[in-house]
Each structure stands twice: as C-alpha cells, then as structure tokens.
Structure 1
Amino acid sequence: MEIERKFIPKCLPDNLDSYEHHDIQQAYLNTSPVIRIRKQDEDYFLTYKGSGMMSREEYNLPLNQKSYFHLLTKADGNIITKTRYLIPLFNSLTAELDIFHDIFDGRLLVEVEFNSIEDANSFIPPEWFGEDVTYDKKYHNSNMSKEIL
C-alpha cells in the first residue's frame, strides 16, 4: 500500500546537492490501472498502482535492462525524466523532491510517504513545501504522461 501526500514546493532547500539523489526515467504502458516502467539509476522496475489519490495499492517488480528498453518502445505518451532528491524530515520521514527535466523542465513536486492514513492526515509540512496537491489528479505522473505539450 502506498500512502503519500504531494506538494508544490515554494522554494528549494539549501545545499540541495548534498542530499542523496536518483536519476529517474519512467513511462506508462497503461494509466488506468497504472502500469509503469522505471529506470532509477541503473535499476529497472515494473510497477502496478491501483486507483486512489492519497492511498492506493502499489506493487514493484524488478526488470532487467533489456526488458525495460523493450517495454519502453510500447509505452504511450510522454516519457518522464527527473532527478529525485531524498531530504530527511522529522519523525524518520523523507521528502522526495522531484525536479523534472526535458519536456517538463522547471516543474517541481515533493512527496512524502507514510505508514498510515492517520500519519498522513496529521502531517504538518515544512514551510518550503507550499500548496498541497494530494487530491489533484494532474499532479500524478501518469496524468503528466498524457499531457499534450
């Protein structure tokens, strides 16, 4: 189960390059339900996500490089590339700050994953997080993949 809240950051944290980060490329084979392929650094995954906004089923399966690039030719819509920074917060939480590249250059999104819906609902975000867009579908990467730019 994935439980997460999403925000549009007002600004970037200081010393961003000091945080662990990953280079991500992902594409969608289907958006309802979500079937996604992802290359994260040198690792490859196939992901299924059920319906929902803040809480939904999620299953990740490993792929190899050959399978990833084969499936990439089958993907629909926009391929999403981003750098994800892992920024420690309080209570062992981590902010996942995505800085998008290529066709989505300049977009920013920060997500926090939680162990329970209660934890997610009681979360008080840091000031730099900005607007809460958890329940706005246009901020799901699967919907970004369908945007006409």
Structure 2
Amino acid sequence: MEIERKFLVKQLPDQLEQYQCKIIEQGYLSHNPTLRIRKSNENYLLTYKSKFGIGQDENRTAKVENEVEVPLNEESFLHLKAKTDNHMIVKKRYLIPLEEGLTAELDIFKEQLEGLRLVEVEFASEEAANRFVPPVWFGKDVSLDRRYTNGYLSTVDSYNF
C-alpha cells in the first residue's frame, strides 16, 4: 500500500546538489487502474496502482493506493514505451532526508512540464500522514488534486495551471 502526500514547492532547498538524484522517465499504459512504466537511472519498472478495496474517506488528507512493482529489462521498457502514445514525463528526482526517518522526493520536471516542481512524502500509515508538518520550503498541499498526479500530467502539453 502507498500512502503519500504531495505539495507544490515554494522554494528549492539550499545545496540541492548534495542529495542523491535520479533521472526519471515514465509513461502510462492505463489510468484506471494505473499501469505505469518507469526508467529511473538504469532501473526499469512496471507499476500497477489501484484503489481496489480502499474505502472512500472524505476526511482523508493523503493519497492511498495499492501498489505493485515488477522489474523490467530495457528491451521490455522500450517495447512498452512505444505504447504510451508519447505521453511520457521526464524529471529529476532528489531524495532529501526529513525528520522522523522520512524522505522528501523532490521532482523537477523537464520538457513539456518545465517549471513544475513537486515534492512527495510517503508514510507508513494515514495517521503519520495526517500528523506530518511540512518543512517551510514546501508549498500548497495538492495531495488530492488530480491535476498533479503523474498520470494526468503525462497527458498535458504544458504546465499552465
């Protein structure tokens, strides 16, 4: 299960280059349920995400989904990439340690989404997600705004909202 909160970025943290960085390219084969391919540096994954069995909760502040990841090889990734109708996202992801053993995953988008910066934090429980106090460099909470899901972002021609 994946429990995460997502925020816009008010300002980039200082000395960003000191943090581990990944170059990510990902695309979507299906949006409901989500079927995604991802290249992260030289690792390739197929990810299935679904809300199956997760009840609706109007008081929920975090995005909650079932998630399964399966490794791919480069050949399989490229084969599936051709089926994404060029709906690919390219971004740099910085892994920034936070208090309580949490990690901020700061995404700086490239190409058609240039200018968009989002940060996600994953949690062990919804209670932990609800207690989370974001650092000052985090901006508006967009966890439940579907316009900021990577699946939706893969379908837009530019970041203009």
TM-score surpassing 0.5? yes
1:75 aligns with 2:84: yes
Identity %: 51
The answer as to whether partners of 1:81 and 1:102 remain within 8 angstroms in 2 is yes
Q: Secondary structure at the match of 1:109?
A: strand
Structure 2 unaligned runs (5+)?
55-61
In structure 2, how many angstroms separate the alpha carbons of the residues matched to 1:85 and 1:115? 20
In structure 2, how many angstroms separate the alpha carbons of the residues matched to 1:9 and 1:82? 14
Figure out how many residues of one structure are paired with residues of the other and give that number.
Answer: 149
In structure 1, the partner of 2:70 is: 61
Once the two structures are TM-superposed, the CA of residue 148 in structure 1 deviates from its matched residue by 4.1
Once the two structures are TM-superposed, the CA of residue 76 in structure 1 deviates from its matched residue by 3.4
In structure 1, the partner of 2:41 is: 41
In structure 2, how many angstroms separate the alpha carbons of the residues matched to 1:50 and 1:128? 30
- Is the deviation greater in 44-53 or in 138-147? 44-53
Once the two structures are TM-superposed, the CA of residue 94 in structure 1 deviates from its matched residue by 0.3
Post-superposition Cα deviations, 1:2-52, rounded to whole Å, max 9, x if no partner, equal 000000010000000110010000000011110000000000000001137
TM-score under structure 2 length normalisation: 0.89
In structure 2, the partner of 1:110 is: 119
In structure 2, how many angstroms separate the alpha carbons of the residues matched to 1:76 and 1:138? 19
- Is the deviation greater in 43-52 or in 3-12? 43-52
1:50 aligns with 2:50: yes
In structure 1, how many angstroms separate the alpha carbons of the residues matched to 2:137 and 2:94? 15
Q: Secondary structure at the match of 1:76?
A: coil
Q: Which runs of 4+ in 1 moved over 2 A?
A: none
Structure 1 unaligned runs (5+)?
none
Post-superposition Cα deviations, 1:58-109, rounded to whole Å, max 9, x if no partner, equal 1000000000000000113521000000000000000000000011111100
Counterparts in 2 of 1:1-149, with a 5 A limit? 1-51=1-51, 54-76=63-85, 78-149=87-158
> RMSD of the alignment, in Å?
1.2
Once the two structures are TM-superposed, the CA of residue 127 in structure 1 deviates from its matched residue by 0.9
